[in-house]
Amino acid sequence: MRSLKIEVKAGDIADWRDEAVVVNLFKGVKRPGGATGAVDKATGGAISKLIESGDFQGKFKEVSVLPAAGESPAKRVMIVGLGEREKFKLDRIREVSGKVALHAREIGLKSFSTIVHGAGIGGLDLHEATEAMAEGALLTLYRYTRYKTSDEGKKDPDVMTMVTTEKARVGVMQRAVESGAVIASAGNMVRDLVNMPSNDKPPQKLAEFASKVAKDSGFKCKVLDERLMADMGMGGVLAVGKGSEEPPRFLVLEYKGARRGKPIVLVGKGITFDTGGISLKPQEGPLGPIWEMRHDMAGMATVLATISAAARLKLPLDIIALAPLAENMPSGRAQRPGDVLKMYGGKTVEVLSTDAEGRLILADALVFAEKLKPQAIVDVATLTGTAVYALGKRVTPVMGNDSKLVRRLVKAGLDTGERVWELPMFDEYAEQIKSDLADLKNTGGKSAGCITAGMFLRQFVGATPWAHLDIAGTVWVHGGPESIDKTYMPKGPSGIPARLLIRMLRDWGKSA
């Protein structure tokens, strides 16, 4: 699908010729100033009259379109509301930019030109505001059409032009547009992979896709097959994958941006479809209908998209992404409830539920990560239905053994609108995963299930700073009052938390 082209040009928006020019207004403003005031003057006070009549109040994401009049050469003037000034942050820029792009699609615009929301009277940094506008528009216009045989819906606009009165700002803004496009493409890569049906993304095909992304983006990709995993003793990945006709794989992705020091390791769960195995899932579960279990590889998609973006942004860090890939199916070869597995590194696990499989493949990956002697490990997984019961579908639970790392993730979540909240990891929770038969059991029951799953993972990490993100509730936008409600996150896969991780990595040199 064709992507929106974003340009940056110098000029006066009041004298700009396009199908529409876009300006903004905070809630409660009675007399427009700045660029909005200039356009108001050029149109003979059309915006002021709209305000005076009460037909436009500047409410958040409110949009009005007027035919241009007076001296304005544009065909239309679009005014978008920024809401209350004290609530205006970067994430509101993404939403406002997305709302404008969506409205441009709805009214059939091929192009439109806009000022940068928030960089003037809003007082936000120009680069950050421009980048957020690019992200918001590109994320909002996302549609997955790979399996459509006919062109449905209204056409996206072709071009969005950001207009600045200062030529010296063009370079800064252009670089921000480029980085914003990389970040948005990471979120949309996650969406693409999650949307893809499971018959088209078994472990081997996903590994091939990752290899292509690595080649295109400039990082290394190594694929471990089942024979090599068996030689290494990866009992978790092999046990989960052995019930399927599709053999498991293990991805080792490596980007060298610092070329010195210790790497940061990202680990992503890659269950390409989750039936629950012998512990078969119901048709409707806490995470949604079973057909949505194609999203169980969203962790893998996230770490792939993140390391790809890091390479394209040329971040000055060494990053390694690990992704165990398996399909969890019931068959005569599948693991059984009650089996005992020997994991990579030697720990033994009693399998009480084959539907608690994500933590088994992640355990092998975390031991692998620990052996790399990294400065930090972050894992991402659609791990537990109880994550939804704990925090709903708007916020991602985070747990970890290092408060500084957790703070980094919390801050990145606030900056990107992909919010996370820390859950406790008190030692007492570990009692729930002790086994009478083995070192551990793979489920601690329904009580505090999200936390005990995190405690299980913690047993496979040593002293390395580590954090775990359970995206089971936030991976998919269902709509309605319980779901994430953002313009740039339409129904379907959210893309969470790729932008969060990219932000964390970009801010790595700053104090947490």
- Cβ neighbors of 286 (< 8 A, separation 6 or more) are 385, 386, 388, 389
Residue 251 phi, psi dihedral angles, 5° rounding:
-95, 135
Token digits of residue 129? 């505001």
Distances (CA, A) of 309 to 188, 219, 257, 269: 12, 11, 12, 19
Torsion of CA 230, 235, 240, 241, to 10 degrees: 0
Give CA separation, 106 vs 6, 94, 103, in Å.
Answer: 19, 18, 5
Beta bridge partners of 65: 78
Catalytic residues: 281, 359
3-state secondary structure of 239: helix
CB of 236 closer than 8 Å to CB of 360: yes
Q: Residue 171, Cβ neighbours under 10 Å: how many?
A: 10
Give the burial string for 277-310 (b: 16+ CB within 10 Å, else e). Answer: bbbebeeeeebbebebbbbbbbbbbbbbbbbbbb
**282 in helix, strand or coil?**
coil
Would you state the structure tokens that stand for residue 438, as one six-digit string?
A: 């083995």
Total count of residues recorded for the chain: 512
* Helices 34-42, 46-53: crossing angle, 10 deg rounding: 100
What DSSP string runs through 131-176? HHHHHHHHHHT----TT-SS--SPPPPSEEEEEES-GGGHHHHHHH
CB 56 within 8 A of CB 81: yes
Around 430, how many Cα atoms within 13 Å sit in the side-chain half-sphere?
10
Q: Quote the distance between the C-alpha of residue 124 and its chain's center.
A: 23
CA distance 9 to 163: 5
CA–CA dist 298, 310 (Å, integer)? 18
Distance (Å, whole) CA 411 – CA 414: 5
CA 25, 29, 33, 39 dihedral sign is positive
**Beta strands per DSSP E along 311-465:** 318-328, 340-342, 348-350, 376-381, 396-400, 420-422, 440-441
